[in-house]
Amino acid sequence: MRAPTRRYAYVADGSAIYVDSFATIRREARLDGVPADAEKLAVRMIHGSGQTDLVDDLVIHPGVVAAARSALMLGAPVLADARMVATGITAGRLPAGNEVCCFLTDPRVAALASAWGTTRTAAAVSLWEPLLAGAVVAIGNAPTALFHLLEMLVDGAPRPAAIVGCPVGFIGAAESKQALASFGADHGIDIPFVTVHGRRGGSAMASSAVNALAQEEE
């Protein structure tokens, strides 16, 4: 095999791209309103979305970084709503060989979704329950999954250590994230979280957040 003839001027060194990307984010994004221990979290979420104005819509619970990092160091699993979220989490950043779980393809899911009149992604969240206590949750795809999780918690399900709630879309995404942001005030259940107001979100954003929470090093 041979490399194609270089016809465009672009940076091709992976390390330089990595360093320059984060430098560009810090130069262009307004990070002064972000909690000090959450700056790298915000930067990685911006990196995962390519949008420096994302910082204006971020909602970061003051305890989310410490809670998620401590849980992961103690071996807590990461519970993901979609395979794309799970795949985007860098195993090498997880401090304790943490298991990353997604139950969307579990054979029980289709029947549960049909019986409950909901999406498969939401039904799969109920299969998290045995693992939910002290876990780190990462939702980047389905608003129904986030709504379902919050309903489980109100009903008395075990509480995770932290929730990354960044579902994307036009139907229910903004509303589900607003429900997460006001969950503590509405129900008296204070679970550390990070979310982003509005329709923006997605698997890359959610997995980027977990990668930032997993360790301090950028």
3-state SS track over the chain = CCCCCCCCCCCCCHHHHHHHHHHHHHHHCCCCCCCHHHHHHHHHHHHHHCCHHHHHHEEECCCHHHHHHHHHHCCCCEEECCHHHHHHCCHHHCCCCCCEECCCCCCCHHHHHHHHCCCHHHHHHHCCHHHCCCCEEEECCCHHHHHHHHHHHHCCCCCCCEEEECCCCCCCHHHHHHHHHCHHHHHCCCCCEEEECCCCCCHHHHHHHHHHHHCCCC
Q: Is the pLDDT of residue 16 over 80?
A: yes
Q: What is the mean predicted confidence (pLDDT) over 113-139?
A: 98
Residue 161: its pLDDT value, please? 98
Q: Is the pLDDT of residue 208 over 80?
A: yes
Domains in the chain: boundaries? 14-214
Compute the average pLDDT of residues 55-59: 95
pTM of the predicted model as reported, rounded to 2 decimal places: 0.95
Assign 217 a pLDDT band (cuts: 50, 70, 90): confident
What pLDDT, on a 0 to 100 scale, did the predictor assign at position 214?
97
Q: What is the pLDDT of residues 142-200, one digit of tens each?
A: 999 999 999 999 999 999 999 999 999 999 999 999 999 999 999 999 999 999 999 99
pLDDT tens string 90-99:
999 999 999 9
Active site (annotated) includes residue 47: yes
pLDDT at residue 218 is higher than 80: no
pLDDT confidence bin for 136, thresholds 50/70/90:
very high
pLDDT over 80 (residue 3): yes
Fold for the domain defined by 14-214: Rossmann fold (3.40.50)
Report the percentage of the chain scoring pLDDT > 70: 100
| pLDDT surpassing 90 at residue 216 | no
